[in-house]
Structure 1
Amino acid sequence: MALELRKLTTTVDEIFTEGGREVTPPKRVVVVAAVIRNPWAGQGFVEDLAPGIDATASDLGALLAPRVMEALGGPLEAFGKAAIVGTDGEIEHGSALIHTLKFGNHFRDAANASTLLPAVEKRGVSGAPFDMPLKHFTDATIRSHHQTVECRVADAPHADEIVIALGGTASGRPQERLASFNAAEK
């Protein structure tokens, strides 16, 4: 059971204005998604997911993390992950691949990050949109970096596939101006 990759997509959004004001420097948000064959597809209920995790998760992290960093073109400040499982799979199949250090440590190491990656997992048909949460890479309580990026891969996942994605940005929300958590509690 090895990683079976059908395609990779990279989306780069650059935001130049927000709220009628210029964003300087422009905010860049990157999402890189891999469309893979579900390693448990066609097997019915699989009790032990560990062999599929071992055969797939680390390779996915090693594939996606450097591509996000390269497309970002600068230091990362916020990140997230996603797993969208085709209709013949279980949400647990996607969770198994992204909720393991074998996957996430590739991104944390590439970005010098220390927090857990926020995630979204769901089942969906080809082209299903998903909202990937992003949080600060070293301190998940930094409010300015709590944000969401909407994503989709037009022709994925097929019923027997999973879309696995990593996303990142080099800044918080454009024009953020909320008080820090401690200041807001006073």
Structure 2
Amino acid sequence: MPEPRIRKFATVVEEILHEGGAPAATPLKRGAILAVIENPFAGAYHDEIEGFMKDLEPLGVEMATRLAAALGGPDKVEGYGKGAIVGQAGELEHGALWHVPGGYAMRAVLGDARAIVPSTKKVGGPGARLDVPVTHINASYVRSHFDAMEVGIADAPRAGEIVLALVMTTGARIHARVGGLKASEIEGEDGLR
């Protein structure tokens, strides 16, 4: 497969000071980077699509590098997630092509991240929105880091496009207080606890 044809990138960083309680000493940053690419499989069913994952790897690393930098550097990132919105001439499985390159790109950029990268995908038209789930980078059961970020682009995906998304956060929800495993209690042996 040829390398992905990119139409545009979009990066957004939220800086959350409070959610109704006292302002935090350090605001939470929640960021997303999106790439709008041509879907090489749009318009017809293709048996063999798996090879395109390899072609997406450099794009994943570029996106993860840009997003980590926008949040202050890889050492600031504590949460992550990924997703894809496939244009209407494609199929859901085309969004699944992002699982490996998106997840491994964030792990490569962030270093020793051990938790599975949560993800979601859908088929939609221009302006479609997607809630990308987020968990702690080293232990999926850290409840304070269960989060999500809504992403989307007004003019994407067009029918023959895919919007690829990576999301990262710098910490727990701003007023997390529902118990469970704390980040300070991670043993880091299996990516869960």
Between stretches 156-165 and 33-42, larger displacement belongs to 33-42
Partner of 1:62: 61
Report the 3-state secondary structure (helix = DSSP H, G, I; strand = E; otherwise coil) of the residue aligned with 1:21: coil
Q: Is the 8 A contact 2:82 2:102 kept in 1?
A: no
* Equivalence map 1:29-44=2 (5 Å): 29-42=30-43, 44=44
Q: Per-residue CA shift, 1:111-142, capped at 9, x if unaligned? A: 12111110010001111111010000000000
Partner of 1:139: 139
Alpha-carbon shift at residue 171 of structure 1 (Å): 0.3
Amino acid in the other structure paired with 1:3: P
Q: Is the 8 A contact 2:18 2:175 kept in 1?
A: no
Q: TM-score, normalised by structure 1?
A: 0.91
Alpha-carbon shift at residue 181 of structure 1 (Å): 5.1
**Segments ≥4 residues shifted beyond 6 Å:** none
Alpha-carbon shift at residue 45 of structure 1 (Å): 0.7
Q: Is the 8 A contact 2:86 2:124 kept in 1?
A: yes
Alpha-carbon shift at residue 13 of structure 1 (Å): 0.5
Q: Aligned equivalents of 2:148 and 2:102: distance in 1?
A: 21
Q: Aligned equivalents of 1:18 and 1:52: distance in 2?
A: 41
Partner of 2:171: 171
Q: Aligned equivalents of 1:137 and 1:78: distance in 2?
A: 5
Q: Aligned equivalents of 1:127 and 1:107: distance in 2?
A: 25
Q: Aligned equivalents of 1:146 and 1:179: distance in 2?
A: 12
* C-alpha RMSD over aligned residues: 1.4
Q: Aligned equivalents of 1:171 and 1:131: distance in 2?
A: 18
Partner of 1:19: 20
Report the 3-state secondary structure (helix = DSSP H, G, I; strand = E; otherwise coil) of the residue aligned with 1:22: coil
Amino acid in the other structure paired with 1:143: R
Q: Aligned equivalents of 1:83 and 1:28: distance in 2?
A: 21
Q: Is the 8 A contact 2:33 2:166 kept in 1?
A: yes
Q: Aligned equivalents of 1:60 and 1:151: distance in 2?
A: 18
Alpha-carbon shift at residue 179 of structure 1 (Å): 1.1
Partner of 1:119: 119
Partner of 1:95: 96
Q: Is the 8 A contact 2:21 2:175 kept in 1?
A: no
Amino acid in the other structure paired with 1:81: K
Q: Is the 8 A contact 1:118 1:133 kept in 2?
A: yes
Q: Is the 8 A contact 1:3 1:59 kept in 2?
A: no
Q: Is the 8 A contact 2:141 2:181 kept in 1?
A: yes
The structure that is strand-richer by fraction is 1
Q: Aligned equivalents of 1:90 and 1:52: distance in 2?
A: 15
Q: Is the 8 A contact 1:82 1:132 kept in 2?
A: yes
Q: Is the 8 A contact 2:33 2:165 kept in 1?
A: yes
The number of residue pairs the alignment matches comes to: 178
Q: Is the 8 A contact 1:59 1:103 kept in 2?
A: no
